Amino acid sequence: MRLVHQLSLLLIATALAAVAAVAGLVAWNLRAGFSDYLQAQDGEHLSRLMDAAERDLAQRGVAPQDWRPVLRAWLEASRIAGGRGAPPEGPVGGPPDEPPPPERASLPGRPPPPDARHDPPPRRDPTNFGPRVVVLAADGVTPLAGRRETLDRPGQTRAVKLNGQTVVVLRLAERAGPAEGVDASFLRRQYLGLAGVAAGVLVVALVLARLAAQRWARPLAEAQVAARRIAAGEFDVRLPAPRAGGASEIADLHGDINGMAEALSRLETSRQRWIAELSHELRTPLAVLRGEVEALVDGIRPLGGAALASLQEEIKRLSRLVEDFHLLATSELRALPCEFEPVAPAALVQAAVERIAPRAKALGLVIEAPLPQVLPAAHWDAQRISQLLANLLENSLRYTQAPGLVQVTARALGAAVEIRLEDTPPGVPEGDLERLFDPLYRVDPSRSRAFGGSGLGLAIARAITQAHGGRLRAEASALGGLAMVLTLPLRPA
């Protein structure tokens, strides 16, 4: 399932759960509260009926044996009153000893009696109040009038008293359902309204979920397409910045993909340049060797000590180049293998300076090494550190103009040692300082082999530094040239 569908379903399910919970709570509260309201309303109606009955008995002053016609009149009045709970004004049902008037009924095919045509039609009882009223004897148990089947339902009672004594008890059964008549219609309208609101909210949630999901999924799809193109080698792919108001995580993802593409593009450019320059570097000593050997084979040059020494020098140069490339390739794949042992940093630096001093003097350069008498003991690979220092000093000797100065200093920095190597002009532009450690990179390509070397010395120096957990950086020197700052921990991890 696609992300847009998952997000849509998630948002819709969340909205549905929220709407169902709110609607259920409102419906339950409405039902419970409305039931309480109806019970209170029934109690008020029953109390008014009790008051009217007491007034009626007080006006009639009937004997107990004559109450039955009056009770029937109360029930009839309660049915006609439609739940208002009070019979019409004045005595109900005529004198006690007068039998109830016969019911007027019209026969089929005959017009109704004259007085019946002018009687107003009985009013409806929307609350079904009258049929729920039962008159009980003073003991509250024996039914005297009303529908006895309603006694099975819970109900409310009111005692009708005459001269302070309970004469009869009026009982009102609860409604058969939570609401009847107009009350049921009211509840039904409320439930339909809730259902309509819930349906509307779900429709809105569906539309918003779809829009939100598309808004989130579109930049992710763009990132997916860009990643595939980058994997296919199109390193010039760049993703546009997400629109304002979007998720910051998506903006960060686009930025990371753009950064990855840019880094891969630089890496690919460097790889192509490295391969081209590597083939060029290898071709030079191979061409010299080929020329020397062909000259010897053709007899143009005699096989003597000078010819063999020239061949040996070219072979050494080619071997050094291959060894440097192998060492650098090893450092790219994994950390350089090192054999750590206790060493004296000051002695290592001093030995590296003494080895390079004759060459510096021959080139018209002066080396100054004001080293401290004592530096903390370190745990380094002495051979690797010596190679690192030799590469840094060799780089200064090749590119410092004569007469010039190369200065080497060292100091302790807590649990590390800082070795600083500075020289006089020429310097390096600030934008090229970090690129000095790229394999085969030269600030001025025209100076490639005029000064010797393979162009891998600084790259190997940084690889050795990283193998020792240190840091090597280039910066402008106060002497006007280049400064190499080497920081190595005394005990690498």
Measured at the CA of 415, the angle between CA 411 and CA 416, to 5 degrees, comes to 45
- pLDDT at residue 304 above 60? yes
First to last CA, the chain: 48
Distance of alpha carbon 411 from the chain centroid: 49
Banded pLDDT at 115 (limits 50, 70, 90): very low
Q: Residue 119 above 70 pLDDT?
A: no
Band of pLDDT at residue 88, cut at 50, 70 and 90? very low
Question: 311: number of CA atoms within 13 Å, CB side?
Answer: 16
Domain 255-334 belongs in CATH node 3.30.460.40: no
Element (H, E) at 473: strand 471-476
Order of strands, sheet of 482-489, starting from the edge strand that comes earlier in the sequence: 365-368, 404-413, 416-423, 482-489, 471-476
pLDDT reported for residue 103: 39
More confident residue, 94 or 350: 350
- Judged against a pLDDT cut of 60, whether residue 66 lies above it is answered with no
- pLDDT given for residue 82 in this prediction: 45
State how beta strands 404-413 and 365-368 pair.
Answer: parallel
Q: Cα separation of 263 and 268, whole Å? A: 9
Residue 68: which of 167, 173, 172, 171 has the closest Cα?
167
Is 110:101 a contact under the CB 8 Å cutoff? no
Among 21-25, 78-82, 152-156, the least confident range: 78-82
Task: Spell out the residues 6+ positions from residue 174 whose beta carbon is closer than 8 angstroms to its own.
Answer: 39, 42, 132, 153, 154, 155, 156
Within 371-443, strands assigned E span: 378-380, 404-413, 416-423
- DSSP symbols for 127-155: T--GGGEEEE-TTSSSEEEE-GGGGGS-E
Buried b (16+ CB within 10 A) or exposed e, 178-211: ebbbebeeebeeeeeebeeebeebeeebeeebbe
What is the rounded distance in angstroms from the CA atom of residue 282 to the CA atom of residue 318?
Answer: 7
Give me the pLDDT at residue 449, please: 45
Neighbours of 386 (CB within 10 A): 18
Say which residues have a Cβ less than 8 Å from residue 472's Cβ, sequence separation at least 6: 437, 461, 462, 465, 484, 485, 486, 487
CATH number for the 341-489 domain, one of 3.40.980.10, 3.30.70.270, 3.40.50.10150, 3.30.565.10?
A: 3.30.565.10
Q: What is the pLDDT of residues 237-291, one digit of tens each?
A: 888 876 655 567 778 888 888 888 888 888 788 777 767 767 766 776 787 788 8
Amino acid identity, position 387: Q
pLDDT, averaged across the chain: 77
Residue the block writes with tokens 């004559």: 66
Please write the tens of the pLDDT for every residue from 313-322.
778 778 877 8
**What is the share, in percent, of the chain residues with pLDDT greater than 90?**
14
Give the domain ranges of the chain.
Answer: 1-99+124-232, 255-334, 341-489
Give the per-residue pLDDT at 186.
73
> Would you say 475 and 431 are in contact if contact means Cβ atoms under 8 Å apart?
no
Confidence of residue 160 (pLDDT cuts 50, 70, 90): confident
